[in-house]
Amino acid sequence: MEKQLKDQLKRVDVVLEVLDARVPLASQHPDVPQWIGEKPRVLVFNRMDMIPASLHSEWKAHFKAQGEQFYLTNAKQGKGVKAVLKAAQKAGEGVNARRKERGMRPRPVRAVVIGFPNVGKSALINRLVGRKAVKSARRAGVTRQLQWVRISDQIELLDAPGVIPWKLDNQENAVKLAICEDIGEAAYDNQRVAAILVDSLVDLGYAALLKSRYGLDPMMGTGENFIEQLASDRYKNDKERVAVLLLNDFRKGNMGQIPLELPEIE
């Protein structure tokens, strides 16, 4: 599938890379710059509603400093989608300018939407098209075949399945993606990932939130200890059930707007 995607990338004019707002650095595919070469790229910062609004401008400044085009969206609700469409059209304008110079007729700008499996690519395309054109579900990897979707006379999109490297060399990023369910469930162990989530939330200053929500102080031990104790106290020692509960509470936003990554302060 990765080879097929690379072949399709050769046919597009602009790349829309969808990121998870909770982990925008970890959800940037490490091979995308190499794959697309000089093609313009637009970063789509999806799930903007799942992090504090105060971080929106900070992330925008972070990516702007790197020379990236950056747009905030909530694809499920359609927020920010029109701006992404305009950016894609603008980024591809050079194609028709060159065609005109050669005496060729203009054609729709060809864009591709890529990203990890569950970051909201299909939801974005469905909003851009204005109808449910692409199968979308919470389970990672539900989009299986490459397909073109005509948006208008000016632009058409290729919906691409999530592209995961065969091996995620950065294990810290791999865990963040697992916590956010941005990679397939078969790729990780729920209890290990949930324990790291607890440790991460403590490090980020959310210990009081965990204590209030689950009636247990995470500062008394490690994330693993927290899961063991919660399982013992309330769930008949079922650690897997507790792990899934914690992960789902985070993924669904039940814990509140919590980012797992913060922009570096210059």
Name the band, by pLDDT with cuts 50, 70 and 90, for residue 215: very high
End-to-end CA gap in the chain = 39
- pLDDT at 92 (0 to 100): 86
Beta-carbon contacts of 214 under 8 Å, excluding residues fewer than 6 positions away, are 230
Domains by residue range for the chain, with CATH: 2-159 (3.40.50.300), 189-251 (no CATH)
**pLDDT over threshold 60, residue 65:** yes
Q: What is the mean pLDDT of residues 237-251?
A: 98
- pLDDT at 187 (0 to 100): 78
**pLDDT over threshold 90, residue 84:** yes
Q: What is the mean pLDDT of residues 13-29?
A: 94
User: For residue 112, what is the enclosing H or E element?
Assistant: strand 109-114
| Number of other residues whose CB lies within 10 A of the CB of residue 196 | 19
Q: What is the mean pLDDT of residues 166-172?
A: 79
Q: Which residues of 130-148 are buried (b: 16+ CB within 10 A; e: fewer)?
A: eeebbebeeebbebeeeee
- Cα 112 from Cα 91, distance rounded (Å): 12
Of 78-87, 93-102, 135-144, 183-192, give the lowest mean pLDDT range: 135-144
**pLDDT over threshold 80, residue 116:** yes
Beta-carbon contacts of 126 under 8 Å, excluding residues fewer than 6 positions away, are 75, 132, 133, 134, 136
**pLDDT over threshold 60, residue 189:** yes
- pLDDT at 186 (0 to 100): 74
Name the band, by pLDDT with cuts 50, 70 and 90, for residue 167: low
Phi, psi at residue 228, to the nearest 5°?
-60, -45
- pLDDT at 240 (0 to 100): 98
Q: What is the mean pLDDT of residues 174-178?
A: 94
Q: What is the dihedral of CA 64, 67, 71, 72, to 10 degrees?
A: -40
Q: Which of 227, 229, 217, 116 is nearest to 174 (CA)?
A: 116
- Cα 183 from Cα 166, distance rounded (Å): 12
Beta-carbon contacts of 130 under 8 Å, excluding residues fewer than 6 positions away, are none
- Cα 234 from Cα 77, distance rounded (Å): 36
- pLDDT at 131 (0 to 100): 66
Q: pTM above 0.85?
A: yes
Do the Cβ atoms of 224 and 194 come closer than 8 Å? Answer: no
Q: Say which residue the tokens 């929106």 belong to.
A: 56
